[in-house]
Amino acid sequence: MTEPPEFGAPPPPPPPPYGATPQYAAGSQYGGVSPAYAGGDTYLDPVSGLVLPTGVQLASHGRRIGAYFLSLVLIVVTLVIGWVIWGLILWGRGQTPTYQVLGMRCWRPETREVPGFWWMALREVVGGFVEGLLSFITELVSFILFLTTRERKSLHDYVAGTVVLYDPGNRLGR
């Protein structure tokens, strides 16, 4: 149950017309983004309930599953070491090699910015260990979470507090 607004508090903004993308002013009480995202325009994603930058969307189930299988191919083609070096370079941009190829990027809704190198290291190393190396059960739990949650998060996303966005115009690029 939500608390009633305090006396004299501004009312919430009216809902946008049906089908319109709601806009929030940067730094406002109802949205906006951190200075790390220079775009400024955001919208409320009706599927996930997250405030996302305009021009991006939550990555689809098919795109994420395709990314998983593409990563297996890229790991083999780059002889693992190339994958590791490529990944270390891209983590500072909130990407993995596969996400770069497919126009995807990680996003931290809590801070409304692309995660940096250390958040991506946490996501990929610690989250990947928890998800993949512990057992088949954790891999299965991660996949079920990904398929059933509104934000399409798997275990490694929960570890780092990230969601994966499809960013075709590279609006979140650093």
How does pLDDT run across 150-169, given as a tens digit for each residue?
A: 999 999 999 999 999 999 99
- Residue 29: inside a domain: no
Split at pLDDT 50, 70, 90, the class of 4 is low
Give mean pLDDT, residues 61-81.
96
| Domain assignment present for 27 | no
Question: Tell me, what's the pLDDT at 36?
Answer: 44
User: For the chain, what is the domain count?
Assistant: 1
In this structure, are residues 53 and 94 in contact, taking their beta carbons and an 8 Å threshold? no
The yes-or-no verdict on residue 12 having pLDDT over 60 is no
In a domain, 15, yes or no: no
Say how far apart CA 120 and CA 156 lie, in whole Å: 10
Two tokens, residue 119: 């958040």
- Res 117 pLDDT > 60: yes
| Residue 161 lies in domain | 58-166
Please indicate, yes or no, if residue 33 is contained in any of the structural domains. no
Residues 7-36: what's their mean pLDDT? Answer: 49
Average pLDDT, the chain: 84
Determine contact, residues 34/45, Cβ cutoff 8 Å.
no
Determine what percent of the chain is predicted with pLDDT higher than 90. 67
